[in-house]
Structure 1
Amino acid sequence: MSGKRPKAAGVLFKDENGDLHQAFLSDSRRSEIILSCGAIGTPQMLLLSGVGPRNELEEKKISAVAHNEFVGTGMADNPMNTIFVPFKKPVEQSLIQTVGITKMGVYIEASSGFGQSNDSIQCHHGIMSAEIGQLSTLPPKQRTPEAIQAYIKRKKDIPHEAFKGGFILEKIANPISTGQLRLINTNVEDNPSVTFNYFKHPRDLQRCVDGIRMATKMVQSEHFTNFTQCDKQTTDKILNISVSANVNLVPKHTNDTKSLEQFCKDTVITIWHYHGGCHVGKVVSRRDQKVLGVDRLRIVDGSVFDESPGTNPQATVMMMGRYMGLKILRDRLGKQLVFRG
């Protein structure tokens, strides 16, 4: 970036072989960089490039190109908690197929992510990755079935029954609690530090409690017991099994079955609905999502979202990409967008 007003000039990147390359914009006014690295990658890229809070950049000895105190702020995620559903027989593995949208701002989903066959634990890698938080510290290519099995063997305190059944997932839509993203160092290959502050706002915590109560009643209902062929479980037993089946890096407490507030805090996991960090009106412009104070740089991804529903935001992100793509093309042609119902 150069000149009185910062202007994006190009990108520095590595290919799949690790070789370093540079690509520069042309002199055309239409030439620009569209940053789309996600809610975590995009604010990280801005900070590493010198766009962000000046004092934080100076602490990392990064030249401040454009001061913006809002880069990396307002980070949010839809917190998820699970209730274990015991089965007497092996269950077919499946992804999310049904979503219940409640009036309380809680989304209820079901997943039979685990089964048992010939005394060997079978598990769907996606749900297992969500339930076993420490796997997230491994690079994706190392999250093999063998790595998962090895982790299970190391975790001898996990009851074997925890892998014979399914889960009722409870997620908070449009969480009020937010956090921040900060650089750990200036190495682009190192993850930044991200804090989402799950349940910091009492309204989020209360919605989780309401959702857990609803999920527990569902597991105790006649419809579920007929389906699972299991006797009706007490609330304490359901919560105890659920706490044991859930493995994250949060220390557990002895009152998880007595305090649903503590149960929510101790068993919270992510469903990877990260958003925020480059909000519209604070980091990017409202009209065209161009980075404020910087020319020829635009952001098109979930980092600009103020909120996210409890369901998968993939379709929303794809629609935003299509909208912005059409808008860019029509702006270049001097046309206006026309929408039809």
Structure 2
Amino acid sequence: MGVGWWRLIGAALAGMLFFHGFCSSEKAPNYTFMKQATSAPYISYYDYIIIGGGTAGCPLAATLSQNYSVLLLERGGSPYGNPNITDLGAFGAALSDLSPKSPSQRFISEDGVINARARVLGGGSCLNAGFYTRASTDYVKEVGWDGRLVNESYGWVEKLVAFEPPMKQWQTAVRDGLVEVGVVPNNGFTYDHMYGTKVGGTIFDADGHRHTAADLLEYANPSGLTVLLHANVHKILFRIKGKARPLAHGVNFRDASGIKHKAYLKIGSGNEIIVSAGALGSPQLMMLSGVGPAEHLKAHNITVVLDQPMVGQRMSDNPMNAIFIPSPLPVEVSLIQVVGITHFGSYIEAASGANFAGGSQSDKKDFGMFSPQTGQLSTVPPKQRTPEAIAKAVETMSSLDEAAFKGGFILEKVMGPISTGHLELRSRNPSENPSVTFNYFKEPQDLQRCVEGIKIIEKVIDSTSFSKFKYDYLSVPTLMNMTASSPVNLLPRHDNSSTSLEQYCKDTVMTIWHYHGGCQVGSVVDHDHKVLGVDALRIIDGSTFNYSPGTNPQATVMMLGRYMGVKILSERLASDEPK
């Protein structure tokens, strides 16, 4: 094989899915309740204060607003009017935006893997690849949720934000290849989580426009909800009297101008503060507010409200590994649509790229899902993913022939995972990323699941169903070696032709942005998501998960916001009834 292909394919791993955005026809909904935090009074009072207008916070706020006054505080801006969020064709642009106003805030775990956290109304649903799928029935039973209410809550979400994706050639070939190699049965299109191969839902509609958790605010009672944008919460306020349990009663937040505001709960039984700031933001805010490991808080001169050593513990991120397959045929622009759900604990998915449709070489700035800008620079060892390495990869991308962008990736994600890490504060600044370690593949079972997933991908690539999208002279070992060893390496890499699949998994580990944990049910919150040891405080988001639900958690996080909102309303209705 010539040097040209080696260079093109290797660098394409870092820059697959270069999508050109197009002008969005989506208009912002008329949310009269959505305002900039600069317009907020210095002091205000509400029945509920929700911190974080993300994937869980938006459906939760919409639900509670039906009966009570709700303040929803979001540290980012609006997703509406931003085509980098709204349009499928611009996927990756928001993730690669490193400006202070970006809807995505980059962080690098102590493992060395580049990742992202949302900073926008709608949360991660504004940044992700759009796959929509429910948790398994076993997951629902294991966590003790009410199955009927779970299904009703999923349906409530799906009426506004979930769609059946169009199945074109690349995704169809991957689906048929999975069935051919034994990931059966073929379950067709379904939101349900079932063993075998299926086509899942998407939050992109038929016109390629994204629908996010922010759209669920259409369900809100406008007179009961206030949404403040660019409202950065610094601290939850507690009342502590004698030996009584700490009582959450307010928050301090700052607006975009740095002006300090306070919001308090109205006096009344049942009013609460609810943290929905995400798997990084929720444990971080709990610590900043004095709830966390006492010695760690004291080291940052934070007054300890409650010594809670499990805050920030058991952090997990599902490892993702992929193989790039250059195609002799043009492929459609597609994100995640098909998934193979195996019995051994690995999920097989795929994405495909574009041929610079309508663009020019000078337009090569945003490279999508697998790109140096978004952090998916799998061609550089995790510990070497420095700004300089990313800049070098982007420079390499700029001179690529468009042939490098014909093709796609087949990837696997490890279920769970079992491996866990921890989160700690770096400073008392809520805008600064905390330090987080995920310990990818620390547990041997996670590594074995990756190996088994890669074996399935190998079989799919060599399947008859997928054959027209593969060059005959590029063997799977060659593709894997190029995937693991491209010209943008800073250090010599392992030659995959002479090393194990275990080493391949370790060398090419990436994130699929499904990190969770830090405030789990049973250790930090109870089964009603009430924080243990304090009153009038709950946490409702992915930080409470012990395992990532389904093949993609966003549907379940949105469902959880609605589910818990309905439960809270039902509890209050029951308590208000005459005895």
TM-score bracket relative to the smaller structure:
0.7 to 0.9
Distance 2:493 2:470 in 1: 31
Q: Structure 1 residues 324, 310: CA separation in 2 closer, same or farther (over 3 Å shift)?
A: closer
Is contact 1:106–1:310 with CA below 8 Å preserved after alignment? no
Aligned: 1:233 with 2:474? yes
> What is the CA distance between 1:104 and its match in structure 2?
1.1
When structure 1 is superposed on structure 2, of 179-188 and 217-226 the one drifting more is 217-226
> What is the CA distance between 1:156 and its match in structure 2?
8.2
- Secondary structure of 2:413's counterpart equals strand
1:140 alignment counterpart: none
Of the candidates 430, 435, 439, which is equivalent to residue 193 of structure 1? 435
Residues 88-144 of structure 1: CA deviation (Å, up to 9, x unaligned): 24422111111111111110011003534677458653443252379xxxxxxxxxx
Distance 2:247 2:486 in 1: 51
Aligned: 1:131 with 2:376? yes
Aligned: 1:214 with 2:451? no
1:278 alignment counterpart: 519
Query: TM-score, structure 2 length as denominator?
Result: 0.51
Is contact 2:481–2:495 with CA below 8 Å preserved after alignment? no
- Secondary structure of 1:8's counterpart equals strand
What is the one-letter code of the residue matched to 1:198? Y
Of the candidates 177, 180, 183, which is equivalent to residue 425 of structure 2? 183
> What is the CA distance between 1:222 and its match in structure 2?
2.7
Of the candidates 54, 65, 68, which is equivalent to residue 305 of structure 2? 65
1:40 alignment counterpart: 280
Q: Structure 1 residues 332, 111: CA separation in 2 closer, same or farther (over 3 Å shift)?
A: same
Q: Structure 1 residues 173, 265: CA separation in 2 closer, same or farther (over 3 Å shift)?
A: same
**Cα RMSD, aligned residues only:** 2.9
> What is the CA distance between 1:175 and its match in structure 2?
0.8
Of the candidates 496, 500, 506, which is equivalent to residue 265 of structure 1? 506
What is the one-letter code of the residue matched to 2:482? I
What is the one-letter code of the residue matched to 1:110? A
> What is the CA distance between 1:160 and its match in structure 2?
7.5
Aligned: 1:333 with 2:573? yes
> What is the CA distance between 1:248 and its match in structure 2?
10
Of the candidates 396, 400, 405, which is equivalent to residue 163 of structure 1? 405
- Consecutive unaligned residues in structure 2, runs of 5 or more: 1-237, 380-389
- Secondary structure of 1:333's counterpart equals helix
When structure 1 is superposed on structure 2, of 15-24 and 292-301 the one drifting more is 15-24
Residues 287-321 of structure 1: CA deviation (Å, up to 9, x unaligned): x2111111111111011111114522111111111
Q: Structure 1 residues 238, 126: CA separation in 2 closer, same or farther (over 3 Å shift)?
A: closer
Of the candidates 172, 181, 188, which is equivalent to residue 414 of structure 2? 172
Aligned: 1:56 with 2:296? yes
2:239 alignment counterpart: 2
- Say how many residue pairs are matched: 320
Distance 1:332 1:93 in 2: 48
What is the one-letter code of the residue matched to 1:271? I
- Secondary structure of 1:191's counterpart equals coil
Aligned: 1:243 with 2:484? yes
Residues 127-180 of structure 1: CA deviation (Å, up to 9, x unaligned): 43252379xxxxxxxxxxxxx999521568999865331000100111100110
What is the one-letter code of the residue matched to 1:2? R
Is contact 2:317–2:514 with CA below 8 Å preserved after alignment? yes
Is contact 2:248–2:536 with CA below 8 Å preserved after alignment? yes
Is contact 2:319–2:510 with CA below 8 Å preserved after alignment? yes
1:84 alignment counterpart: 324
Query: TM-score, structure 1 length as denominator?
Result: 0.85
> What is the CA distance between 1:244 and its match in structure 2?
4.3
Residues 244-269 of structure 1: CA deviation (Å, up to 9, x unaligned): 469899x7732444211111011111
Distance 1:28 1:252 in 2: 64
Is contact 2:355–2:405 with CA below 8 Å preserved after alignment? yes
Aligned: 1:108 with 2:345? no
Is contact 1:116–1:164 with CA below 8 Å preserved after alignment? no
Q: Structure 1 residues 22, 75: CA separation in 2 closer, same or farther (over 3 Å shift)?
A: same
> What is the CA distance between 1:17 and its match in structure 2?
4.6
Distance 1:248 1:34 in 2: 45
When structure 1 is superposed on structure 2, of 37-46 and 118-127 the one drifting more is 118-127
Aligned: 1:321 with 2:558? no
Of the candidates 271, 294, 307, which is equivalent to residue 547 of structure 2? 307
What is the one-letter code of the residue matched to 1:242? T
> What is the CA distance between 1:31 and its match in structure 2?
1.7
What is the one-letter code of the residue matched to 1:105? G
Q: Structure 1 residues 122, 59: CA separation in 2 closer, same or farther (over 3 Å shift)?
A: closer
Distance 1:35 1:65 in 2: 17
Distance 2:256 2:460 in 1: 47
- Consecutive unaligned residues in structure 1, runs of 5 or more: 135-147, 336-341
> What is the CA distance between 1:202 and its match in structure 2?
0.2
Is contact 1:176–1:203 with CA below 8 Å preserved after alignment? yes
Distance 1:247 1:80 in 2: 20
Distance 1:241 1:157 in 2: 18
What is the one-letter code of the residue matched to 1:265? K
What is the one-letter code of the residue matched to 1:132? L
Distance 1:15 1:9 in 2: 20
Is contact 1:78–1:174 with CA below 8 Å preserved after alignment? yes
What is the one-letter code of the residue matched to 2:476? T
> What is the CA distance between 1:212 and its match in structure 2?
0.7
